[in-house]
Amino acid sequence: MKPHFVNEFYDPMVDNHQNYKLGIFYFNRKDKRLIVPMQNRMLGRTMNFARPVAYWWVIIIIAIVIFSLVIG
């Protein structure tokens, strides 16, 4: 499936500053993707916090870190 945008370095949803909460958390209900590129593509990817599953991933990651600190 081809993305709706042509240039891989320009994504109108990701590059719109109004889709960010506190300037760092990507939140866009219209974007169905869970993982999206960051505004600065060199920094990698981020999650779309408008998707409920994103919060579950954050909880799982924090639980793994805490578990490894307690056990280790």
Q: What is the pLDDT of residue 41?
A: 84
> What is the three-class DSSP state of 68?
helix
Give the model confidence (pLDDT) of 14-65 as tens digits: 888 999 999 889 999 999 999 999 888 888 899 999 999 999 999 999 999 9
Q: Give me the pLDDT at residue 25, please.
A: 93
Alpha-carbon span 2 to 52, nearest angstrom: 25
In Å, how far from its chain's centre is CA 35? 5
CA distance 56 to 59: 5
Tens of pLDDT, residues 17-26: 999 999 889 9
Q: Are 26 and 32 in contact (CB under 8 A)?
A: no
